[in-house]
Amino acid sequence: MEGFLNSVISTGNTILWSYVLIGMLLILGVYFTFSTKFVQIKLLGETIKLLGQGTKGVENEDGQKGVSAFQAFCISIASHVGTGNLAGVAMAVAVGGPGAVFWMWLIALIGSATSFVENTLAQIYKVKDENGYRGGPAYYMEKALGQRWMGLTFSIIITFVFGLIFNSVQANTISLAFETAFGFDKLHTGLLLTALTCLVIFGGIKRIAKVAEMIVPVMATAYVLVALFVLIKNITLLPETFKLIITSAFGLEQAIGGGIGVAMMQGIKRGLYSNEAGMGSAPNAGATSTVSHPVKQGLIQMFGVFVDTLIICSATAMIVLISGKHTIEGLTGIQLTQAALSSEVGAWGNTFIAACILLFAFSSIIGNYYYGEANIEFLNGSKTFLFIFRGCVALMVFWGTQTAVQIVWDMADLFMGIMALINLIAIAFLGKFAFAALEDYIKQKKDGKDPVFHVDNIKGLKNVECWGTQKKQF
């Protein structure tokens, strides 16, 4: 089976497929950036303000507090910030060179507009459930496009990719990090991690939201502070490091040797894998919150791309490049990150990275799981099927701690691309509704109002379940 998968994943057709997907991401990202008039830059201040307000939570029309805007943000960040930020970035630098970092930055800047669009659409077309709301690409594919088959296909893929494959990636990295740092046996790590996973996911979305809300701020702050220490310690090397990143991304030597293509592929691929802009995953979390206007959550979720790539991924990249460990042949992935940090802060770097990996990857496991749960609800909503899915997630977490890393990463890359393509096609057709919602939001802000969304403010909206009209407000 492994040999078959390797043969499929390594074909020239897969390489061509990757370039097609990257092209779509860039073209749509640029289109969304101009169509929203650079929303990711123009409304950045408003976004940060909304993020602070989102911690308070808002009552829904039933008078109950569901998932807050900040909790929804934390669920998506929990999924974003994982092995891609530590192991994946190191792998991109090792394979694609320093220039890969530049392309990660570019995909984050462009992709943030894509993230705004898909998350705003998820809010517009969300539906009610017993815990509050749920939604995502499958829902807007069915309700807005009228293509249930498309939603079903997406739901099956995201449930398989995030709930099973990606979670084995996260578990694999945890076991490797703890084996390197402490010499822990993979079997014991697997059993403990599986037990912790079951404890959270069997509690449903509200327990997942609470755990994510506790873990995400702590893990992100701790990692960024250590990275800042490394940067301040080596502040004289920063100009040279930035120069290396730019010249490696555009240099003549790299162009002649084909290095620019490799750097682009690695940087964009790892940037996408990490921040997930356009992939259709984060909207499943974005749809859960109770807000007065879809654009509010769209902006908050958009900020997650900046946190993920421009802050945390950049922190890893700078640590690796400043240390120079990326030039050591055969050193890649999480071992490269551990070696790089240890060379800068001492032996405790291994222990710190192992602890970060535990928090980063475990939060990703529970975030990824929820994406699967939301889409199982779309498929049939069977409690029995959901219980079986939870058991499969637990098994894949355990399997991931015991298996070889490369086949897991390659499977993740392949299926991520398929899922992203389906979502990109959908939001290309539906983006006009996100643009109209943004115009409505800005108009209400200019009028001095706290924006409230009404379905009849936007022409052409249909099958919208959770938003009222001017006569019957949200």
Confidence band (pLDDT; 50, 70, 90) for 9?
very low
In which domain, by residue range, is 39 found?
11-447
Domain assignment present for residue 362? The answer is yes
Domain assignment present for residue 3? The answer is no
State what percent of residues in the chain have pLDDT above 70: 80
Selection from 205, 235, 227 nearest residue 85 by Cα? 227
Per the structure, the count of domains in the chain is 1
Distance CA 255, CA 106 (A): 18
Q: Residue range 210-215: average pLDDT?
A: 78
Domain assignment present for residue 454? The answer is no
Domain assignment present for residue 67? The answer is yes
What would the pLDDT profile of 95-151 be if each residue is shown by its tens digit? Answer: 777 777 888 888 888 888 999 999 999 999 998 877 778 888 999 999 999 899 998
Distance CA 319, CA 241 (A): 10
Domain assignment present for residue 181? The answer is yes
Domain assignment present for residue 4? The answer is no
CB-based contacts of 137: which residues, under 8 Å, 6+ apart? Answer: 118, 122, 151, 154, 158, 280, 283, 284, 422, 423, 426, 427
Distance CA 404, CA 171 (A): 11
Count of C-beta atoms within a 10 Å radius of residue 20: 12
Count of C-beta atoms within a 10 Å radius of residue 3: 8
> What local confidence, expressed as pLDDT, does residue 416 receive?
74
Residue type, 460: G
* DSSP H helical ranges for 202-309: 204-233, 238-250, 252-257, 259-275, 282-286, 294-305
| Range of weakest confidence among 79-83, 230-234, 281-285, 376-380 | 79-83
Judging by beta carbons within 10 Å of its beta carbon (0-12, 13-18, 19+), is residue 162 exposed, middle or buried?
Answer: buried
Confidence band (pLDDT; 50, 70, 90) for 4?
very low
What would the pLDDT profile of 318-346 be if each residue is shown by its tens digit? Answer: 888 887 777 777 666 667 777 777 777 77
Distance CA 44, CA 219 (A): 23
Burial readout 292-329 (b: 16 or more C-beta within 10 A, e: otherwise): ebbbbbbbbbbbbbbbbbbbbbbbbbbbbbbbebbeee
Distance CA 296, CA 302 (A): 10
Domain assignment present for residue 443? The answer is yes
Show the tokens assigned to 291.
Answer: 């807000």
Q: What is the CATH number of the domain that holds 435?
A: 1.20.1740
* CB-based contact 358:180 (threshold 8 Å): no
CB-based contacts of 340: which residues, under 8 Å, 6+ apart? Answer: 90, 319, 320, 322, 323, 325, 326
Domain assignment present for residue 471? The answer is no
What would the pLDDT profile of 44-65 be if each residue is shown by its tens digit? Answer: 888 888 887 755 655 555 555 5
* CB-based contact 312:110 (threshold 8 Å): no
Tell me the sheet residues that pair with 128.
133
Secondary-structure percent of the chain, ordered helix, strand, coil, rounded to 5: 80, 0, 20
User: What stretch of H or E contains 97?
Assistant: none
Show the tokens assigned to 456.
Answer: 């009849």
Average pLDDT, the chain: 78
Q: Residue range 389-397: average pLDDT?
A: 87
